[in-house]
Structure formats: C-alpha cells, structure tokens
Structure 1
Amino acid sequence: MSRNLFLVLNEACQGSLDKTFLSLPANQSLTYADFFKLAENYALALKSCGVTEGDRVLVKTKKSSDALALYLGCLQLGAVYIPVNPRSTQHEIDYFVNDADPAIVIFDPNEDISVGIRSETIGDGGTLTLMAASAAQEVLNASSSTSDIAAMLYTSGTTGRPKGALLSHRALISNGIALNNIWAFKTDDVLLHCLPVFHVHGLFVAIHCAMLSGSTVIFREKFSVTEVTQLLQKSTVFMGVPTYYTRLLSSNTFNSTICSGMRLFTSGSAPMTEQTHKNFYERTGHQIVERYGMTEAGIIASNPLEGKRIPGSVGFRLPGMDLRIAIDGRACGTGENGVVEVKGDHLFSGYWRKPEQTAKAFQKDGFLITGDIGNLDDDGRLRLEGRSTDLIISGGENVYPKEIEICLDDFDTVLEAAVIGVPHPDLGEAVVAVLVADGSLSIQELKDYVVKRLTSLKQPKEYFVISELPRNTMGKVQKSKIRASYSALFTKGIEGN
C-alpha cells in the first residue's frame, strides 16, 4: 500500500498514542489515540454523506480540534481537504463553491450561508459532528497514492481571482519530514499553536511537525499576548508571524524568564525587520529562526537551528530542494538580485482547472517561478529583496490588490481604483485604496459595500480620492509613485477618508 500522508502521520504517532496531542482550553485535552479515533469518525461521517476518494470537501469553520480532526479524516478517506478563511463572505463562498465543485461544504452551526449543494455543520450541535459521534464502525483503508491530491488551498494572484493550489501527499510528506529534521522536533517538545489552520503555516508546517515527532500541541483559537506570555512557560516551540513578535515586545510583562524553557521560535508568512529580530534577542536571549515559503512550495528555506542566524536572511534551502536565482533564464552570480526559482518533491501539482496559469508558473526545466526577488551569498544563504508582484502581506497573510480593485471598480461611483500596501507598525503592511470617482461618491456607502464582499484583512484601512492615477507612457498605473505618496500614512498620520 502506498505511504500516503495519513499513513505516514499514523505510523509516526504509534509510539505516542497514550500521550496528550492537543492541550485545549478549560483543561480539556485529546490523546493521540483520541484524536485518530475522532478523525476516523469524521471520515466515516463524510462517507455516509456520499463523499468518496478524490472528492473535494470545502471547509469554512473556526479553528478547533474538530476542524483539525476533519482534516485528518479527509486524508484517511482519500478526499481533498479545502480550508477557506472562516471570515469569508457569502460572495467569496459562492466563488469557491462554483470553482472547486466540492461534494460537500462544511461550516459552523451558527453560520448563515447558502451554498446550493449538500452542506453539514461541525462543532457543538453540528450535524456532521453528531453523525461522527454515532458513526457505524468499519475499517477504512487509506488507498491514496503519494501523487494524489491531499489538499487544495486558495491563493490569489494578479488575475484577482483566487486559484486553487493542488498539494499532493508527496509534497506535504516531503516538506514535513525536512522541517521536522532541520528543526529537530522531539517527542518531548510542546508546540504553542496560535496560528490559523487554513494556511500552510498553521496547518501543514506546525501540525505536521508535531505529529511526525509525536509531540504535544497547546492549541489555541487565536493569538493573545496575555495568554501567550502565560503559555510560553509551558512550551518549548512557538511558531508565529512578525506581528505576533512585535506585539509580544510591546508588552512589559514579556521577558527572558517567560522564555527560559523555550528552545525554538520561528517566524514566517511575512518578512521580519532586522530591528524586531534584534529587539527580541535583547529582550529574551533567543534568536528567532526566520524561514521562507509559499503556498505553492511549502517551506523553501530556513535559518539553521545550530549555527549563525543572520537577521534579514531567510537561511538555506531545505534538504531535497533545488534553488536558484535567475533573470530571464540566466543564472545570477553571488549577491546578484534575480527571481527565486525552486524545484523538488515539495512543489504543488498545479492550479485547479487552470492549465495555462499552471504552465506560466514553471520554467521549462520544472523550476517554479516564485515571483520573489532575492540573492544568494557565498555560503548559499538566501536574502529576499522584494516581490516582483504587488502582493501585500498584512498581519502575516497574503492580500492581492487586484481582487480588491475588482470589487471597488464594481461600485457605481468609483471610476478607477488602485490598491497598495503601505508600512504599518503592527501589521507589517496595511491595505490602502486610492480612487478616482465621480462627485457623488459616498465613502461610507463604499465601505458598507466592501464589508459585505471582502474579508476584513482585504478591506482597505484608508481610502483616498484623487483626480487621476499616475501612469507611465504605456498607460500603466505607476503604483510605485502612489506608494511613495502614502508610505508615511501610519507613521506620520496622513489623514484619509
């Protein structure tokens, strides 16, 4: 039988079945045995709903142990797990359902959404949860092969429409094992988990590392400075985004004593400033291990666990991965900036039903074009210098301007819209909309319109109306000029609408 992801995780946990896997609020917990049983029950419940191997399961639910068990249940059944942001609007869900063509949609019991296909709910009182609790027991054989798709994660792009990135069992296994090894996870580790579980970072990186090592996870729904400063004293590993670290540093109660039992802090999903890295080391004595990845490739590079960690560098490529810096197919020299390109088993299998965009993502020799600009030093360390797209990273989450611009352009009195990211002391970057509009535009009405169509992280923090957008001789909007005009917005208090 093929060693798919479910079998790999199950095998890795066999020596830890009686050990606590998830430590939950209110002194609740699940052992590994409890968790695998719950996952199997969810797999059986899905099967009773008609879900079979290869079917897609779209999940819009808050972070919970049930949601995590549902993920593992999908792996066991051979279904494709598709988590989406629990804050997604009806408009966004309509798009996901139409695009993904799922066999079923799972959401929280208190959700007021309509999907037009079979749906069930998960959590306290949820219909799928009740089915799982009373599922007729039978043996489920995970027959998926390593080349089969385990999950599909939506990622936006310059087209403005989210694309489903297909992640195979092989890709997730390869990346998980490499990370587990370079970060030296052990069975006695305790991972403090405050990340979302609809991203690569929180679901695959964090959870797979824990399960592959049979370690314990302190599982919390969201990040809270107060709670994290308490729970770090019971932990050995913490994974976060730069925003988490800046917020911890803003607390007077956060100090080296709290971190005395910690062995590893990692950061990713957005660039960390060298100042944050320095401030954290001075406060705690710990150097944050910064790493670099993307939905389509998992984790690509990481600073070393042992040895020198250089602020501003994302470290070395992961084992089993090829990485190069190139410009139009030409390999760059040491220290020369170019596009980061990667190749290996960890890469995604393509975009769902988008063969042309899949083809454009790869070079002819199989290297994935990341779109990020970087360079390699003499030791092979990767330093990122920027992005070749207009991607905004706000609070550790990717936001693509084109999707927001399409939404704004659809509003009757907006003539043109340009969406940019500008520096923000807490979020890293904040979304700002610069508009050309007719005289009857109501900013409040526009805000009300946007709230119904876009998740909160995509909603502009400020709106500005100008007479015309700057353009070059080819008629292309010059976003660099717009960004320069508003770069001090959140540091010098430029007033918007």
Structure 2
Amino acid sequence: MNKNFFNRILESAIQAGAKPFLEGPSGEEYSYNDLLEITAKFAENLRQLGVQPGDRVAAQIHKSPQGFFLYLATLRAGAIFVPLNTAYKAREIEYFLSDSKPAVFFCSEVSAKENQEAIEAHVKFGSALFDEAGHCALLSAEVACEPNAAAVERAGSDVAIIIYTSGTTGQPKGAMLTHDNLASNGQSLTEGWKFTSSDVLLHALPIFHAHGLFISTHCVLLSQSKVIFLEKFDAGVVLEKLPESTVMMGVPTFYTRLLADPDFNKDVTRSVRLFISGSAPLLEESSQQFLERTGHVILERYGMTESAIITSNPYDKERKIGSVGLPIEGVEVRVTAEDGSAAKIGEVGGIEIKGPAVMKGYWNKPEKTAEEFTGDGWFKTGDLGRLDDEGYLFIVGRGKDLVISGGYNVYPKEVELVIDTAPGVKESAVIGVSHPDFGEAVVAVVVLDAPSEQISDKVISLCKENLASYKVPKAVKVVDELPRNAMGKVVKAQLRTDNAKLFK
C-alpha cells in the first residue's frame, strides 16, 4: 500500500475542490484545486530535472505560497524535503549541503553566488532560483500533468523530511521524519485541536521550521480549512487579520509583542477560538496578561524537531498555565531519575518519549541515533520536567545547555567555536538569559588572553559573518575567569545566575 503522506493530502484536497485553501501575503487566493494542479506541475518538473524518489531537495527560500507548494510537491514526487533557515550563512550552508547531498538546491540568487563552491561540490543538479516575489522559473515551466494523480509510492518508514537541529558538539544533526511520522502527528493534532473545514488559521511562522512547515499546515490540509499565509510576523498585520481568523499558532515572542500593542483586546480576538503557543517556554506572566486582555487561555504545547508535538494542554478540558499539557494521542511520556528509574510524581527528571511520531533517526549519524535512544526504545529529549498527579507535564529546564531565542534553538557550542577564533579571546561560554521579547537571549561570556579594545563589537561582528542572526549574542561580558566545578567543567548555571537581570 502506498503510504506517501501526500496521498492523505490528495484525498482531502479532492474532496475540498474549489474551497479556498490559502490566502497569500498580497491577497492572492489558491483553492484546493489549485493546490492539486500546482503540486502536480512542480512534482513533474522535479522529475524531469532528474529528481528520483529518495533524493533530497534542499530549500533556503523566503516564505511564499510557491515555496510551500514546493514542499508538498517534493513529498508528492517521493523525494525528501530539506528546509534550511534563510538566516544561515555560507559557513553553515556548506555543511548542510555536504551532509545531505541534495539533487537540487532551491535558493535566492544571492545565496547561489555565496555558496557557489559548495553547490558545485555537493549538489547533483545545481541550484534553482527563487526570485524576490517568491517565484521559481524552473517550477513554473509548463508540463503535462494529472492534478488528481496519486503520489509516488513510498513506504510509511521512508523518510519524507530532514530537518537539521544544532548539535551540542557544534555539528548539526538531520532529524529524519518519515511519512508515518507526519501522518500520525498530523491526524492527532487535527483531532485534538478540533480543526474543522470552517476554520481559518492565521500563519505568521517561517516555513523552514517544523512549527510553520507542517505542524500548523497539516492541520489545515487534513481538515480542508483555510490558511491566511503572512510573509512574516508583523503585529499590525496580525491585528488586521485576527478578526478573519479562528486559530492562531505562534511562539511566545508573537504573544508578548501583541500584548505590547494597545490595540490588542477582546474585540480583535472575538472570532478566534484557539491560540496555541510552542517552540519555546511561555512565561506564566504572559499567559496571565493574555487571559486578562482577551479572555483566552493560550494553549501551550511541547514538541521538538525529532518528534513534532509530544504533549498539549487539552482543547476542552483544563489548560494549566505553566504546564505543556498531556501526551497527545499515540504518544507516551515518562520522567526518569538519574539512575534510570521512574521519577516519582512531582519529582524532576529527564523527559523520555515513545510513539509513532518519533523520528527514524539522525541522517548519516547511526552512532548518535543509538546514543539518543534507551535500551527499551525511548527517545531521550534532553529536557528536564515533572509530571503532576493528573499526568500534566511541566518543563523545568534542559539537561543540555540549549538556548531557545525567539523560538529558535541555539546550541552554545556552535557559537563558542566561532567566538574562540576571535583575536584576543582565550575562551568563551555561551548562555541563555531571560529576555522580555525573545524569551531567552544569547549572551557570550569571554576570557581574554590580552587586553582588547572593543572586544564586544569584534565578537558580535565575527558571529554575524559566520552564523545565522538568531545565534548572534545580544551581549558580550568579559570576566577574569569562568566558574568551574571540581572536574574543571564550566558551571553555566552560575553564569546564568550572575547575568539573570542583564535585560531587565
């Protein structure tokens, strides 16, 4: 049986027919029939280029309807979609292309020029350009295609998407999500969040991230509802479109920025039935303010690239502020003590998960995959949490030093490796510090081997040249030495305490 996830989308779209599917940033509209026709044409163009089932299709493109249709067409063609953050610099892109070895790399003209050597070395058919309006000439070529034809046959265990997550050693890992992973998570969320064909999702998220690419959009596609597809988050535009919407998904930064706008009130949110927050912890203070201003309790959920959504506060039962809710349908969650035994109710421990949406593994990294799973098949998230007596999960910290800034994951080691090359820097430690807008801000604490003027500007400039903008430190602090424990390891908890009020 063909388990290509696009066949689920195909079935839904055929039933929806002429019903509106997507409203673009300029007001352009696409129906479900348009979705079928465009993705069929794009998939055929990929095939004629030489893309085979199982080939990787990498994309570093700005958000646009055509960019999203490219993702769907890649699934339809049986290939593997590899979304890449538009903020990534040449140093980062070179690694992603060398690791994934895509058949084609969709990007802007500027990116193609900056990454010419890497493209020639690692991309089979080279680059295909998206223009500033979000169109690609290669995909727009007229070809004969059948809009309602079935997707290329794939097994449920075949990889559909590879999404890279930063690595604690500085080397990113590609999480392999299968067609079964997508189907399981998409169906559970569509049902759990009560999506129907009358819903309208306000989409202001990027599409190089799991949250915007498929966690949100699959709910729309499987329920035959509509999405208002904004180019990016802009508080003014969001306020304008909220009265037309029934659901909004966002990261905490979205909600803090809305709360900062005096025009955000109950009247603006009158048609919305559900606000969802994820990708980073939502401050309880923000939740309380949101409730007071709108009457809505934001539904907080918990997920990660390696598994999509893991837990969610229930739609029609108690939503506990400060909790990320209960395991979604099909997912199991346990909290373990340091010795591997089950933690007691209320006791903090490592969060481990199991279920049909957990990734197949890390691309080209079998040893790392094996390390991240327990002997009995549970995936170790690296997060710390506790369960209450009703099974609600509370995230209390991270076992790793991950920083989540504006909803994006930043692993300190990757930033430290760049900072340590700066002239005058002896060593560095990168931490996350509470920030009113970003949730956490990246902060670099450095020790100098010799006095250096304007070291802060130099470090930040070097990071901007080599790293995506969200990884660049918001502040650089110079210290005489880094705090260490008896084993010589840097005590980042102490650095976080010392700098806790930096942005307050």
Give a deviation string over 1:207-254, Cα, whole Å, max 9, x none.
Answer: 100000010000001111111111000000000111111110111000
Distance 1:44 1:125, change over 3 A: farther
Q: Is the 8 A contact 1:431 1:462 kept in 2?
A: yes
Corresponding position: 1:156 with 2:166: yes
Query: What does 1:422-433 align with in structure 2 at a 5 Å threshold?
Result: 422-433=433-444
- Cα distance in 1 between the residues matched to 2:259 and 2:292: 10
2:255 to 231, 245, 270: 245
Q: Which residues in structure 2 correspond to 1:39-54 (within 5 Å)?
A: 39-54=39-54
1:68 counterpart SS class: helix
Matched letter for residue 404 of structure 1: V
Report the Cα offset of residue 49 of structure 1.
Answer: 1.7
Alignment of 1:34-113 (within 5 A): 34-111=34-111, 112-113=113-114
Once the two structures are TM-superposed, the CA of residue 485 in structure 1 deviates from its matched residue by 1.3
Deviations 1:150-173 (A, max 9, x none): 000000121111100000000111
Aligned length: 491
Asked whether the 8 Å contact 2:4–2:151 carries over to 1, the reply is no
2:140 aligned with 1:132 = yes
Q: How much does 1:433 deviate?
A: 0.5
Structure 1 residues 306 and 325: alpha-carbon distance in aligned structure 2, compared to 1, 3 A threshold: same
Distance apart, 1:414 and its partner CA: 1.6
TM-score of the superposition, structure 2-length normalised? 0.95
Higher mean alpha-carbon deviation, 42-51 vs 216-225, is at 42-51
Q: What amino acid maps onto 1:394 in structure 2?
A: S
Q: For residue 322 of structure 1, what is the aligned residue in structure 2?
A: 332
Q: Give the partner amino acid of 1:221.
A: E
CA deviations over 1:338-363 (Å, ceiling 9, x no partner): 11111011000000111111011111
- Offset at residue 135 of structure 1 (A): 2.6
1:472 to partner: Cα distance: 1.2
Q: Aligned partners of 1:199 and 1:125: how far apart in 2?
A: 21
Q: 1:400 aligns with which of 411, 432, 437?
A: 411
Structure-2 separation of matches of 1:438 and 1:333:
47
Residue identity over aligned pairs, in percent, reads 46
Q: Shift in Å at residue 37 of structure 1?
A: 1.4
Letter in 2 for 1:264: L
Determine if contact 2:422/2:458 at 8 Å carries over to the other structure: no
CA 1:126–1:266: 2 relative to 1, 3 Å: closer
Residue pairs, 1:167-186, within 5 angstroms: 167-186=177-196
Distance apart, 1:310 and its partner CA? 0.8
Q: Retained in 1: the 8 A contact 2:7–2:150? A: no
RMSD over aligned CA atoms reads 1.5
Contact 2:63–2:134 under 8 Å retained in 1: no
Q: Secondary structure at the match of 1:160?
A: coil
Conserved? CA contact 1:245–1:276, under 8 Å? yes
Does the residue aligned with 1:375 lie in a helix, a strand or coil?
Answer: strand
State whether residues 109 and 126 of structure 1, in contact with CA within 8 Å, keep that contact through their aligned partners in structure 2. Answer: no
Shift of 1:271: 0.7
TM-score with structure 1 setting the length = 0.96
Q: Which amino acid counterpart does residue 34 of structure 1 have in structure 2? A: D
Return the offset for 1:15: 1.8
Q: Give the match for residue 267 of structure 1.
A: 277
1:141 shift after superposition: 4.2
Q: Which moved more, 1:327-336 or 1:337-346?
A: 327-336
The 2-side partners of 1:254 and 1:195 are apart by 19
- Aligned residue for 2:156, secondary structure, equals coil
> Once the 2 structures are TM-superposed, how far is the Cα of residue 108 of structure 1 from its aligned partner?
2.0
User: What are the Cα deviations for residues 16-63 of structure 1, in whole angstroms up to 9, with x where unaligned?
Assistant: 120111111332111111122111221112112211000011110001
- Cα distance in 1 between the residues matched to 2:234 and 2:207: 16
1:36, 1:84 → 2: CA distance? 25
Letter paired with 1:460: P
Separation in structure 1 between the aligned mates of residue 36 and residue 174 of structure 2, nearest angstrom: 27
Q: Unaligned stretches of 5+ in structure 1?
A: 492-497
